[in-house]
Amino acid sequence: MATEKFKALVHFIIHECREHPGKLGAIRLNKVLWYADAIGYKINGVSVTGETYVKRRKGPVPSHILAILREMMDEGKILIQEPKHQYNPRNFISLESPDHGILSDDEKEMARSILGSVCGYTANEISELTDDAIWDAAVEGEDIPIRATLAARAGEITDEILQWANNSIAARQAA
């Protein structure tokens, strides 16, 4: 099951959007969580929450997000309003302040920064930004290891790299 830190980050993100109702739908929430964990992994070698992610149509989705959202609703921490129209997002409402002791100040600041960036895009635009080589390589419903984000973008193929690759292939063929 998801960690308390994952739950704390979900609540923190929802609470941060309390003054911007309708701005944080499910897609944006999932993106903020993905980017927080991916950036945390790249910086510290571990993700912020330890959550696992799976490939879905609109990008990586935390494996336990639905269970955590239900749990937080049952605890009276959040409310989820379903959209009135097909193309409107769900509305996540924080009913109480999150536990600020679980997340570090750096993690909260990183989440705020990511949230500000993500909310500057439409849900479709932000989905396209997470459709990278890692997402493309996975099949629908497959786990996307957070460590794979280290190889999300191919590096430049220089003449030196091509020479090394050709030499390696030649050496194997000669053996």
Give the residue extent of every domain in the chain. Answer: 4-174
Q: How many residues does the chain have?
A: 175
Residue 8 has pLDDT above 80, yes or no: yes
The span from the CA of 165 to the CA of 124, in Å, is: 38
The span from the CA of 5 to the CA of 99, in Å, is: 10
More confident residue, 8 or 81: 8
What pLDDT does residue 13 have? 95
Residue 168 has pLDDT above 90, yes or no: no
Q: Helical H runs in 79-158?
A: 105-118, 123-129, 133-137
Q: Is 113 helix (H, G, I), strand (E, B) or coil?
A: helix
The span from the CA of 13 to the CA of 15, in Å, is: 5
What pLDDT does residue 154 have? 57
Q: Is 78 helix (H, G, I), strand (E, B) or coil?
A: strand
The span from the CA of 69 to the CA of 108, in Å, is: 19
Strand ranges, E, within 30-129:
53-56, 59-62, 78-81, 91-94
Q: What are phi and psi of 151, to 5 degrees?
A: -115, 25
Q: What are phi and psi of 152, to 5 degrees?
A: -70, -25
What pLDDT does residue 12 have? 96
Q: Which of 88-92, 101-105, 124-128, 149-153 has the lowest mean pLDDT?
A: 149-153
Task: Round the average pLDDT of the chain to a whole number and report it.
Answer: 84
User: What sign does the CA torsion over 21, 112, 55, 121 have?
Assistant: positive
How do residues 91-123 score in pLDDT, each as one tens digit? 899 999 998 899 999 999 999 999 988 887 777
Strands 59-62 and 78-81: unpaired
**Residue 11: left (phi > 0), alpha (psi -120 to 50), or beta?**
alpha
How do residues 43-76 score in pLDDT, each as one tens digit? 888 999 999 999 898 889 999 999 999 999 999 9
